[in-house]
Chain A
């Protein structure tokens, strides 16, 4: 309805709505716009409730180009009237589209990839942090005095790690500290398979260390006992720093020299640590678990029968149906069990109706079945 109405039509409408003569309605509307115009000409803005706001805006002079001739010319500064509809009026006019909202579009996939990488990095850091925290905390908490002792040891550690023999007494303590932390790190990321033996150490060593340290260090405690609490907290910070450094150093050394050097020490400590070693075997069973998963993983690519006895892991054969062929016969032929017909039906995606009405010449895939473990 792109019709056009005038002031008189408006007056008609108004006269119908309100108890007013049409003539009066006309004069009312005319007066209204007269006032608006007068005020605008006076440079004022006029706000009318239910309609909107009229304003006069001055436009700066600007240079433009005559499209036909290409000549430049100046548009003088001038005033112009702007109108901004009232909220109520705007909403009412826009009612057909009121349900739409501005939507934020997804960015290109690039940024999503970047975010994903960031999050994974963050995750690994988060994962590492607790490992380090767990490893270091037990050392600090149980006996603060014993904690203080490792420091001198810590400084000398980088070398003892390289050369396990020089100081038999001192080494057992520093090395275990170095080992427990670097190993979990190493295990989690680079080569889990590489060091099955060192793994057991982290926990047992940490627990026993304080005890050993306490025994060995009792003489030192007397000296240390004089230290203030502040010093201890400082010590803790230093210890933590040293441990972090050790971690890095140990990691590097470990990567360079490989598990060999540790194996000897590890064996010695295993004797002392005893119990936990059995637990350490755990990583080994994880590996055999992989092949069993593979059947399931392979099965993931194919349709499966829920709670079935077998996994469908591939295509064993394809058969073009001949006269007299029957899916249950095929099941009997390939599996020795006609009840496995369901797997053939599922694998080919036949509906129950279609399965009972197959035509000669239909190609039927026979699935490769692997017995499920549970």
Chain B
């Protein structure tokens, strides 16, 4: 399901236009992004947790060239489904 289909379905369920939905969607994602930048954990009941995790720098080796590379530290957004969601799968 791509974004277009998703927006269409949202519009149908909420009796909104696709334009309104995508506008709201942008608002929501920017809101979430700002929360994530503050390293805030976002939990959605019955769905799961979004959390920003810090990854330390590390050395990797390219197996084909044997080159050693230093990967910098980074922040990654991770998602962990809730137990209720997992049980449904």
Residues of A within 8 A of B (CB): 1-7, 10, 13-14, 17-18, 20, 24-25, 27-29, 31-33, 35-37, 39-41, 44-52, 54, 56, 78-83, 85, 89-90, 92-97, 100-105, 107
User: For the complex, would chain A's binding face be called helix, strand, loop or mixed by DSSP majority?
Assistant: mixed
Contact for B29 among A81, A89, A100, CB less than 8 A: A89
> Given the complex of chains A and B, what is the CA–CA distance between A284 and B23 in angstroms?
88
Closest to B52 in A: A93
A52 & B77 in contact (Cβ 8 Å cutoff): yes
Q: What 1/0 mask marks residues of chain B from 1 to 37 whose CB sits below 8 Å from any chain A CB?
A: 1110010011001100000000111111111111111
How many Å lie between the Cα of A49 and that of B46 in the bound state? 22
Chain A nearest CB, measured from B45 CB (Å): 6
Q: A47-B2, A51-B29 are contacts. A10–B47 as well, Cβ < 8 Å?
A: no
Interface size on B, residues (CB 8 A): 56
Q: Which residue of A lies closest to B85 (CB)?
A: A37
What 10 A-B pairs have minimum CB-CB distances, sorted nearest first?
Answer: A100-B72, A83-B79, A50-B29, A13-B31, A105-B68, A49-B3, A17-B27, A85-B77, A4-B41, A33-B47
Chain A contacts for B64, CB-based, 8 A: none
- Specify which chain A residues have a CB less than 8 angstroms from the CB of B37 in the assembled complex: 92-93, 95
Which residue of A is nearest B68, CB measured?
A105
| B77–A89 CB distance below 8 A | yes
Which single residue of chain B is at the shortest CB-CB distance from A50? Answer: B29
Shortest beta-carbon distance, A109 to chain B, in Å?
14
CB distance from B4 to the nearest CB of A (A): 9
A18–B29 Cα distance when bound, in Å, is 12
Q: Do the beta carbons of B45 and A54 come within 8 Å of each other?
A: no
**Residues from chain B with Cβ under 8 Å of A105 in the complex:** 59, 67-70
Docked complex Cα distance between A103 and B68 (Å): 9
Given the complex of chains A and B, what is the CA–CA distance between A291 and B42 in angstroms? 79
Point out the residues of chain B lying under 8 angstroms from A94, CB to CB. Answer: 74-76
User: In the complex, how many angstroms separate the beta carbon of A73 from the nearest chain B beta carbon?
Assistant: 20
Name 27 A/B residue pairs within 8 A (Cβ), A-sorted: A2-B41, A3-B41, A5-B43, A10-B31, A13-B35, A18-B24, A28-B10, A28-B14, A35-B9, A41-B88, A48-B6, A50-B25, A50-B29, A54-B79, A56-B89, A83-B78, A89-B77, A90-B77, A92-B36, A92-B37, A93-B36, A93-B76, A93-B77, A100-B57, A100-B73, A102-B72, A105-B67
Which partner residue on chain B sits nearest A25 by CB separation?
B24
Pair B24/A28 contact, Cβ less than 8 Å: yes
- B14 in contact with A47 (CB, 8 Å): no
Q: Select B41's contact among A5, A18, A32, beta carbons within 8 Å.
A: A5
Residues of A within 8 A of B69 (CB): 102-105
A33 contact set on B, CB distance < 8 A: 44, 46-47
A97 and B57 CA atoms in complex are apart in Å by 11
Question: Which residues does chain B contribute within 8 Å of A107, judged by CB atoms?
Answer: 66-68
Chain B residue at minimal CB-CB distance from A92: B33
Of the residues B3, B9, B28, contact of A29 by C-beta under 8 Å: B28
Chain A residues with Cβ below 8 Å from B9 are 35
Q: A35-B6, A45-B1 are in contact. Are A2 and B39 (CB under 8 A)?
A: yes
With A and B bound together, what is the CA distance between A85 and B33 in angstroms? 11
Note all chain B residues with C-beta closer than 8 A to A27: 14
Nearest CB to that of B45 among chain A residues? A7
Q: Which residues of A have CB within 8 Å of B88?
A: 37, 41
Expressed in whole angstroms, the Cα–Cα distance for A173 and B12 within the complex equals 101
* B68/A18 in contact, CB under 8 A: no
**In the complex the two chains form, is B47's CB within 8 Å of A28's CB?**
no
Give the shortest distance, in Å, between A58 (CB) and chain B (any CB): 10
- Shortest beta-carbon distance from B43 to chain A in Å: 6
Q: How far is the CA of A18 from the CA of B78 in the complex (A)?
A: 26
The one of B3, B24, B67, B72 that contacts A20, using a Cβ cutoff of 8 Å: B24
